[in-house]
Structure 1
Amino acid sequence: MSSAQIWGFWGLLLAFSIHNYPIRGELALFLELALLVLGYFQSNEHSIPGGLLSIFGYRLSPFHPLAKIPGPIINKITSLRLAYIVYSGKRHVILGELHRRYGKIVRTGPGTISVNSHAAVGRLYADALAMDKSSAYMAKTVGKGGLFFMQSREKHRERRKIWSNAFTPRMLKLYKTAVERRTMQLVATIRRRKDSQGVVNLLECIQHWSYDVMGDITFGGSTNLELMANGDTQDLVRCGQVGTTIFEVLGEVPSLFDILWHLPVTEGFKRLENHARRLILSRKTSEIQEDLAGHLLHSGELTDRDLAMDSVLAIVAGSDTTSGIAAFMLYFLVCHPHAYKALVEELDGVFMDSDQPLFDELLEKLPYLEAVVYESLRLGSPLPGLPRVVPKGGLLIEGTYVPEGTIVGVPPHQQHTSEENFSPDPQAFRPERWLPGASDAGWHTNRAALMSFSYGPFGCLGRAVAIQELRVLAARLLLTFDLSPAPGFDQAAFLDGVVNFRTTIFRYPLSVLVKERTDFKE
């Protein structure tokens, strides 16, 4: 094969991959590089640099479909830069910097853009107009058939119908019983784990509490994990976070996912999946139970692999998301004495002692508790993006035409901290912005901008459960204990150590000084 023939074939392949498939193209780049290497050995010409220049040159040229959208040059050339940004765990921060520099629409990859605009949320995610998920969710090895990994809105809707039976008002009441029971166990766990000075790593306690709660909700308490009682002897919290991190980073280079998923680092996640599969098989010979797995099994429409994967994702995603937000909520409270005092006063005005049942009809009517929960959701969900694929015909976003096949997303963290949606002090923890009549006090709060549970038809079905958990957790702990930062606790270091890969990882413990409350009967 002559050099001219190779170059001609490269050009045809490049044009075909760009104009007939989604234009992020790391798989196309791999094929092109393979052809370049082939050309090197067959033509004795050092053509690799020239071939790369032709690829990169096109992506930077005015002929590229996204040429008019601003962004860093390196991002336009390769998606590996975005993968690296994701790997840093600070994508939510870096995207903010890019939007401040380039504006509302930024090109983050050869075929990906980020849109920091609330007006775009409805166009991308709303029920009637929602687009399919991008190839960032295409993890065939781990997630084939799993609800979370379904890219098609239609297929997702069918599976969601099966899940929805497990989240009816009646089921939520059953879950509330598990949440209350486990939260009382958390109180005992905190008492047992605090050191002689009364200091405890509240983060670890909350993570174990959240896993145990989701084990009850998913399998009715038959998982035998019992992290609060036994500790995380199988390192499940970390393994779940590692699995989620791999998925998030390789979502930017999905062609590598199925290879790297076989690395030893994912063994913990696989152990949890195998455990779930054994539980599913045992359920087939017993009566249907009132939990998530029971409803999924009762549908009769899912394979054993799908049942196991959906169950594992429910435990990992449900526990990880809730524990991350709960950790932020308690961090904000103990580090903001005014907010802590206001919530304690509200709770003390309703409950007579720390052991009183936390009825929903009482908790739901506490405005400051609700404000604390929603402010924690706003600042405690550093989600980087929810990528979608522009459908045939393209669309206009903020007056800019975006061609079909482009991967586009609105960064939730930027929406949550935008002055257009939350002012004043969008970066500050101020529960008052959510109180009734807040607008009369000068607060601007765009409730529709909250994207902590995704948005539209792909939105999280467990939203009501998570909010229920946060209410119960805050109420029970503040009714039982006096909490304050432990001596020497570095608030700035704790926040700086937070990284997000769709899972929130805290590099430092949430060290809290715990004292029993003794003032109820005074």
Structure 2
Amino acid sequence: MLLNEVIPLLVQYWPVVLVSVVVGHLIHNKFWNGLHKHPGHWLAAYTNWWRFWDVWGRKHEWTIIRLHREHGDIVRLGPNVLSFADPRAIKIIYGLNKGMVKSDFYPVQNAVSKGRRLQSLFSTTNEDYHAKYRRCVNNAFAMSSLVNYEPLVTSTLSVFLDKTEQLYASTSKTCNFSQWLQYFAFDVIGDLTWSKRLGFVEENRDVDGIIAFLGKFLSYAGPIGQMPILDLILEKNPIRLFAQRIGLSNTVFPVTLFAQTRSNERAGEIQKIKAYGVPDDQSNPRGVDLLTKFAQAAHDHPEFMTDTQVLASCTSMVFAGSETTAISLSSVFYFLLKHPRVYAKLMHELDSAVADGTIESRANRTVSWSESQRLPYLDAVIQESFRVHPAAGLILERIVPPQGIDVLGTFVPGGTIVGCNAWVLHRRPEVFGHDVDAFRPERWIDASPEQLKLMKATMFQFGAGARTCIGRNISLLEVYKLVPSFLRRFEIELERPDSEWKTHNAWFVRQTEFNTRFRPRKAPPSSI
């Protein structure tokens, strides 16, 4: 009886009902769990559409820096999202055994195979799954494994230097340096993962269009990750995935196909390793690649490390292994070119190191990992580049456990999404000095031991805690080898000295319009 009376009223006054529901929803968002006390853009308190559109604008890193400078250490980015700027919050939000888990932002970046998501170490939100997965592959990414990987990196580096001379230095042609560095990073991933360069450098092209695909995918994942439900309507629509599982759709995720194709080329060898393990007497002068180590993990942990996990591991290398390293390399070279004094000072260090024997005088002028670790100004330049232009441009989201958590005296209710942004943390004056917006490598040399320890603890380019980027050591190996080797081999200049690059925050802040020219560098005097 009551329903018969209510329905006609709802139909008659539906505009009023609709407006009331919307207003009620917005007011609920505004005051959700008391988060209204935290400042931010006024729209952020009412709807996640604000952060969706801001991230879509591709300059979110500057928005969040400005908001924190205006409003302080806690800024509201959405009805249920808080950003923290105080570096002391890192241990609380990302520390071990805090009960914090990744948000639904991360599964948006799952690759798909035959209609099923591939959970990677990076994208999974299941902490138990992550812990088991990491135990299986942790040895492959340990710092001690670098000795195995350096020959593989050196192999690609030598080809890259020779092709740079052939294509650009000897022709005076303009180079799209960011793209060229990404070709290098991709071929390194090929060598590290499959012991095979993939042809990006040799052929000077985007093989299979995979870099273009990654660019589009990350441009999608950044804003869509602010409202993950959109992914279930668009790319990972359950109906669409079901159609792939039963064979009605033959759509294949390009990165998955890319990784699968390369792995299939060694299917017989990998099946033997999974069955019997890597022979103790097997030697490879070029180093043991990651696919071999993933297969060994499948042999050691067959109950967990299935073919799906091996494929997911290879896919993750394609996803994360090239983009972030290329961004970091571009940053180092760009800031050197924009600061001639720093460039000259670094070249003096390199030449002095060759003269006194710290760097071996090789014919191709490459620098080894161990040699690079004895160059303090090189380290300062690289660390400062990481600081000023970290790869990740969004907060690394975590969900507060149901009981809530105290973050530096502020109680945050359970279910709230919290996080820190590297661009904000890396610009804390009390940590890095008053000139945080300036590129000044000397800050890493002049700092007291206590201050240097604080600075290193605040650096967030690889994340923090149990979910720190597992490939960070490989990325560092590439950066510390390529930068000095390239500088010893070539002189670099901007195509237009007054030009500025453009950046595109697609979750990772990649660079465009970084055009350069190279000249072969004359061998320095034998003594300085």
TM-score range, shorter chain: 0.7 to 0.9
Displacement of 1:336 after TM fit? 1.0
Structure 2 match to 1:511? 515
The aligned length equals 481
Displacement of 1:520 after TM fit? 2.4
The amino acid of 2:325's aligned partner reads T
Query: 3-state DSSP class of the match of 2:429?
Result: coil
Which of 360, 383, 391 lines up with 2:369 in the alignment?
360
Kept in 1, the 8 Å contact 2:142–2:473? The answer is no
Distance 1:354 1:370, change over 3 A: farther
Displacement of 1:246 after TM fit? 1.7
Q: Which whole-Å deviations, capped at 9, do the CAs of 1:429-455 have from their partners, x for residues lacking one?
A: 1111112x5339999961100011110
The amino acid of 1:392's aligned partner reads P
TM-score of the pair, normalised by structure 1: 0.85
1:392-431 mapped onto 2 (5 Å cutoff)? 392-431=402-441
Displacement of 1:420 after TM fit? 2.0
Q: Which whole-Å deviations, capped at 9, do the CAs of 1:493-517 have from their partners, x for residues lacking one?
A: 31xx212222233231x22231111
**Residues of 1 paired with 2:151 and 2:43: CA distance?**
52
Displacement of 1:72 after TM fit? 2.5
Displacement of 1:173 after TM fit? 1.4
Kept in 2, the 8 Å contact 1:483–1:514? The answer is yes
**Residues of 2 paired with 1:442 and 1:405: CA distance?**
35
Query: 3-state DSSP class of the match of 1:149?
Result: coil
Instruction: State whether structure 2 residue 186 is matched by structure 1 residue 211.
Output: yes
**Residues of 2 paired with 1:269 and 1:412: CA distance?**
34
Report % sequence identity: 25
Structure 2 match to 1:112? 81
Instruction: State whether structure 2 residue 503 is matched by structure 1 residue 498.
Output: yes
**Residues of 1 paired with 2:207 and 2:9: CA distance?**
53
**Residues of 2 paired with 1:359 and 1:303: CA distance?**
36
Instruction: State whether structure 2 residue 70 is matched by structure 1 residue 101.
Output: yes
1:141-290 mapped onto 2 (5 Å cutoff)? 142=112, 143-194=117-168, 196-221=171-196, 224-261=198-235, 270-287=253-270, 288=273, 290=288
Q: Which whole-Å deviations, capped at 9, do the CAs of 1:18-61 have from their partners, x for residues lacking one?
A: xxxxxxxxxxxxxxxxxxxx996697555211210111122234
Displacement of 1:243 after TM fit? 1.5
Distance 1:45 1:86, change over 3 A: closer
Structure 2 match to 1:310? 313
Which of 466, 469, 475 lines up with 2:475 in the alignment?
466
The amino acid of 1:109's aligned partner reads G
Distance 1:470 1:40, change over 3 A: farther
**Residues of 2 paired with 1:225 and 1:194: CA distance?**
18
Q: More deviation in 420-429 or 142-151?
A: 142-151
Kept in 1, the 8 Å contact 2:295–2:310? The answer is yes
Kept in 1, the 8 Å contact 2:160–2:201? The answer is no
Q: CA RMSD in A?
A: 2.9
Displacement of 1:472 after TM fit? 0.9
**Residues of 1 paired with 2:58 and 2:5: CA distance?**
44
Structure 2 regions of 5+ residues with no counterpart?
241-249, 279-287, 299-303, 355-360
Structure 2 match to 1:90? 59
Structure 2 match to 1:321? 324
Kept in 2, the 8 Å contact 1:137–1:150? The answer is yes
Distance 1:286 1:337, change over 3 A: same
Distance 1:181 1:281, change over 3 A: closer
Distance 1:106 1:174, change over 3 A: same
Displacement of 1:410 after TM fit? 1.1
Kept in 1, the 8 Å contact 2:181–2:329? The answer is yes
Distance 1:440 1:233, change over 3 A: closer
The amino acid of 2:19's aligned partner reads P
The amino acid of 1:458's aligned partner reads R
Q: More deviation in 68-77 or 410-419?
A: 68-77
Query: 3-state DSSP class of the match of 1:67?
Result: helix
**Residues of 2 paired with 1:516 and 1:3: CA distance?**
86
Which of 38, 49, 57 lines up with 2:27 in the alignment?
57
Kept in 2, the 8 Å contact 1:218–1:314? The answer is yes
Displacement of 1:152 after TM fit? 2.8
Kept in 1, the 8 Å contact 2:137–2:297? The answer is no
Q: Which whole-Å deviations, capped at 9, do the CAs of 1:324-357 have from their partners, x for residues lacking one?
A: 0100100011221111111111111222456245
Structure 1 match to 2:339? 336
Distance 1:74 1:464, change over 3 A: same
Query: 3-state DSSP class of the match of 1:235?
Result: helix
Structure 1 regions of 5+ residues with no counterpart?
7-37
The amino acid of 1:348's aligned partner reads D
**Residues of 2 paired with 1:419 and 1:132: CA distance?**
30
Q: Which whole-Å deviations, capped at 9, do the CAs of 1:74-94 have from their partners, x for residues lacking one?
A: 111111111111111111110
**Residues of 2 paired with 1:166 and 1:40: CA distance?**
62
